[in-house]
């Protein structure tokens, strides 16, 4: 993906030097804010909006949860709305708050989602017919039919 982005940016006069690192090094560099542009694979933002907590940071820009937005991104309004959304019991109010969080991310772009991976699941119901889709995801927002709970009776 880095090569693809570099080719697009070159067309508008922006030259990139691509560096490839192992996953732990990438996470460290992103966490430290030691990058200009990082391409990193991770889960998705499906499932519960609690995943938006990945962008919260303290006043110095240090991430509170993970370095999703990098060390140098900080938005006090974002943090305040996130905190409010985490305790909101009214579904409509929480929805409005989460929409505003997404607007802030779209406006300030601490991250850009390049694509969502499509997954196909095929099974033979004559062999086993207990699979079910997990819309809110397993693990961290991984929407799969692969859910070990379908094997528990």
Tell me the three state secondary structure of residue 114: coil
Distance CA 1, CA 61 (A): 27
Question: Which pLDDT value is given to residue 29?
Answer: 82
Rg (CA), the chain: 19
pLDDT tens, N- to C-terminus, the chain (153 residues):
788 888 998 999 989 888 888 888 887 887 777 777 777 666 555 556 777 777 787 766 566 655 555 566 788 999 999 999 989 999 999 999 999 998 998 898 887 777 666 777 777 889 877 777 666 666 665 666 566 667 676
Contacts 24+ apart (CB under 8 A), 63-69: 63/31, 66/31, 67/27, 67/30, 67/31, 68/42, 68/110, 68/111, 69/110, 69/111
Query: Which domains are delineated in the chain?
Result: 2-108 (3.10.105.10), 118-153 (no CATH)
How far is 14 from 102, CA to CA, in rounded Å?
A: 28
Residue position matching structure tokens 């997404």: 102
């Amino acid at each position: 993906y880095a090569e693809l982005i570099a080719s697009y940016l070159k067309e508008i006069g922006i030259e990139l030097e691509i560096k490839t690192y192992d996953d732990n090094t990438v996470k460290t560099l992103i966490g430290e804010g030691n990058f200009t542009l990082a391409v990193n694979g991770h889960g998705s933002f499906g499932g519960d909006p609690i995943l938006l907590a990945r962008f919260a940071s303290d006043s110095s820009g240090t991430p509170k949860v993970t370095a999703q937005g990098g060390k140098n991104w900080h938005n006090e309004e974002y943090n305040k709305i996130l905190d409010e959304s985490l305790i909101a019991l009214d579904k409509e109010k929480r929805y409005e708050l989460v929409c505003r969080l997404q607007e802030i991310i779209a406006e300030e772009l601490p991250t850009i989602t390049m694509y969502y991976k499509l997954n196909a699941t095929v099974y033979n119901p004559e062999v086993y017919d207990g699979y079910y889709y997990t819309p809110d995801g397993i693990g961290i927002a991984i929407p799969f039919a692969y859910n070990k709970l379908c094997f528990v009776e």
